Amino acid sequence: MSVTVLVGLGWGDEGKGRVIDFLAPAYHIIVRFNGGANAGHTVVVDGVTFRFHLLPSGMLYPEKTCVIAHGVVLDPARLVEELAEVRRTKPNLARLLISDRCHLVLPVHKQLDLLEEAFRGGGKLGTTGQGIGPVYEDKVSRKGIRICDLYSPLLLEKIELFLAEKNKILVDIYKEEPVNPRSLQQQLLTFAQFVQPFLVDTLLFLQERLNHGASILMEGAQGALLDHEIGTYPFVTSTSPMAGMVSLGAGIGPKQIDRIVGVVKAYATRVGTGPFPTELRNEIGEGMRQRGREFGTTTGRPRRCGWFDLPLIQYALSANSPDELVLTKLDVLSGLEHLQVCVGYHKSNLPIKGIPALAEELDQCIPVYQTMPGWREELSGIRRLTDLPKNAIQFIHFLESYLKVPIRSVSIGPQREEMLLV
Ligand code: GDP
Ligand code: IMO
Ligand code: MG
C-alpha cells in the first residue's frame, strides 16, 4: 500500500499515536498533515512514555523519514522544545522534514486564543490554548506568516502589517500591551536559523518519493467529531481531522489514497466543552477516567467519559470511508458487569433520525442503549484475539455489525505488544 491515512473518528484521543507507532515499521515515511500543537499523541515503548504534539509519532524509528506537511500550523517555541525533550530520552530519531509553507503560530495567536475564550465566558469552547483558532483564521483570511516568510527581505514589513491589526485588537478590545514588531522579528530570525536544515517543499518530496515506490503513513490529529464541517459545531477545532484533509494538508490527491484506517475507542471521551449525549457523570465514568488514564496529553485536563455512541461514530465514519477500524482501550472496560452502547436517540419521547445540527439539540438527546454483558478478566496479558473473553468478542462483533466496517486490530494496552490482530 503506498498511501495509508489514519484518522480518529471520535473527539480525539482515540489512541492514534499508539497505532501510528505500531503501523510505522511497514512504511517509509510518516506525515502529519493537519492541526498543530493542540494534538497530543502518546507512544509508550518499553515503559517509556513519549508525547508528540507537532512531531509525527513515527519519530522513534531512526530509519524512517517524518514529515510535517503544509497543513500543520507550527509553533516555533513548541517545536524547539519538543525536539529537545524527545532527543533527551532518545537521541537517535527519524529524519525530520518540514514544509516551508507551514503557517506559524505566534505568541499573539496563543494570547488571543486565551483572551477569546475568556471573552466567551460561560460559552467558552474549552480550547487547548495553543492558538489554533486564531492562526487558522489568519491563514484563511490570508494574513498569516509562513515559514518561507522568515527568509524574505520583506519580513519586517509583513510583521508590521500583521501586528498593526493584531495590536489594535489587543489594545482597543482587550486592553493588553501591544507586541513590538522588532522583538517578534528577532525571535523569528532565531527560529529561521534553527528550522532551515529541515525545510523542503513537502508536497514535491512526497510526490517524488511516491513515484519511486515509497509507502507513506498519514497521521491524522484530532478526530472527525471535532471537524468544523461535520463535527459538533461550534465545539470543534479549526482544522479538518478528516481523511480527505490529506489532499489539502499534504498535497496527496484523493486518488492516491490506497487505504484509510479509522481509530475508535471502546468508549467515548471528550476534553473541553460541547455536547456529549452518552456522558457518564457517575462512578462508571470516573472508573473509565481512572482506568483509562483519561487526562489530556496536551493540557492535563480530565477527559469526560461515556458510553460508545454508535450514531455519532457512524456519522463521522461515513464521511471518512475507512477500509478498516482499530478499536483501542478495550482493556479499560474490564470489570464492568454490563456495558451500554448507544444505538439511537430520543427527543421528547420520540425517536429521532440522524444527528441534530444544533449542539444544544444534540445535548438534549436521550440515548437509546443496547445493554450487553461485560467481562471481569484483565485483558493486557492476552496476545491472541481468540483468547479474549467471549463477551468482549461479542462487544467487538456488535460494533462491527452496526458500523459495517471490519475491526482489524484491537488494542488492549498502550505498549507496542498490546495489539491483537484479527
Ligand atoms: P491520540 O491523541 O489519539 O494519539 O491519543 P492520546 O495519546 O491523547 O490518548 C490515548 C491514551 O491512551 C494514551 O495515554 C495512550 O498511551 C493510551 N492508550 C492507547 N491505547 C491504549 C489501550 O489500548 N489501552 C490502554 N489502557 N491505554 C491505551
Ligand atoms: P489529538 O490529536 C482531543 C479539542 C479541544 C477543544 C476543541 C478546540 O490528541 O486527538 P483547539 O485548541 O483545537 O482550538 O480546541 O478541540 N481538541 C482536542 N481534543 N484531542 C485532540 O487532539 C484535540 N485537539 C483539539 O479540547 O474542545
Ligand atoms: Mg491526544
Q: Which domains does the chain have, with CATH numbers?
A: 2-102+198-262 (3.40.440.10), 107-195 (1.10.300.10), 265-421 (3.90.170.10)
- CA-to-CA distance for 222 and 19, rounded, in angstroms? 14
- CA-to-CA distance for 56 and 335, rounded, in angstroms? 34
Q: Strand, coil or helix: what is 50?
A: strand
Q: Checking DSSP bridges between strand 259-265 and strand 3-8, what pairing results, if any?
A: parallel
Name residue 212's amino acid: H
For 402, counting Cβ atoms within 10 Å of its Cβ (0-12 exposed, 13-18 middle, 19+ buried), the class is middle
Read off the DSSP letter of residue 169.
I
| Alpha helices (H) along 46-100 | 76-89
Q: What local confidence, expressed as pLDDT, does residue 299 receive?
A: 83
- CA-to-CA distance for 41 and 60, rounded, in angstroms? 13
Residue 290 host element (H or E): helix 283-291
Nearest-CA residue for atom 19 of ligand 2: 12
**Cα–Cα nearest to 9, from 297, 401, 274, 311:** 311
CA dihedral (79, 80, 85, 88) positive or negative: positive
Going from the C-alpha of 334 to that of each of 112, 329, 379, the distances in angstroms are 43, 10, 7
Positions of the chain with pLDDT under 50: none
- Give yes or no for residue 104 CB within 6 A of ligand 2: no
Determine how many CB atoms are found less than 10 A away from the CB of residue 417: 9
Determine how many CB atoms are found less than 10 A away from the CB of residue 143: 14
- CA-to-CA distance for 116 and 113, rounded, in angstroms? 5
Considering every ligand atom shown, identify the ligand nearest to the alpha carbon of residue 14 and give its number: 1
Q: Strand, coil or helix: what is 190?
A: helix
- CA-to-CA distance for 199 and 96, rounded, in angstroms? 9
- CA-to-CA distance for 88 and 49, rounded, in angstroms? 13
- CA-to-CA distance for 230 and 318, rounded, in angstroms? 11
Residue 286 host element (H or E): helix 283-291
Nearest-CA residue for atom 5 of ligand 2: 127
Cell of 38: 493542540
Candidates 21, 28, 41, 331; catalytic one: 41
**Cα–Cα nearest to 80, from 62, 60, 98, 57:** 98
Considering every ligand atom shown, identify the ligand nearest to the alpha carbon of residue 225 and give its number: 2
Told to judge if 41 belongs to the known catalytic residues of this protein, a careful annotator would answer yes
- CA-to-CA distance for 165 and 172, rounded, in angstroms? 10
What confidence tens digit (pLDDT) does each residue in 279-325 have? Answer: 999 999 999 999 999 998 878 899 999 999 999 999 999 999 999 99
Read off the DSSP letter of residue 154.
T
Mutate to test the pocket of ligand 2, among 130, 263, 271 (most ligand atoms within 8 A of CB): 271
- CA-to-CA distance for 422 and 419, rounded, in angstroms? 10
Told to judge if 212 belongs to the known catalytic residues of this protein, a careful annotator would answer no
Read off the DSSP letter of residue 357.
S
Q: 337 CA distance to ligand 1 centroid (A)?
A: 23
Q: What local confidence, expressed as pLDDT, does residue 1 receive?
A: 58
Residues flanking ion ligand 3, Cβ below 5 Å: 13, 40, 297
Name residue 263's amino acid: V
Cell of 100: 516551508
- Give yes or no for residue 238 CB within 6 A of ligand 2: yes
Instruction: Say if residues 49 and 413 touch (Cβ distance below 8 Å).
Output: no
Residues within 6 Å of ligand 1 by CB: 8, 12-18, 40-42, 44, 292-293, 297, 328-329, 331-332, 411-414
Considering every ligand atom shown, identify the ligand nearest to the alpha carbon of residue 329 and give its number: 1
Q: What is the length of the chain?
A: 422
Cell of 72: 500543520
**Cα–Cα nearest to 130, from 272, 268, 10:** 272
Q: Checking DSSP bridges between strand 304-306 and strand 324-328, what pairing results, if any?
A: unpaired
Q: What local confidence, expressed as pLDDT, does residue 162 receive?
A: 98
Q: How far is CA 188 from the centre of its chain?
A: 27
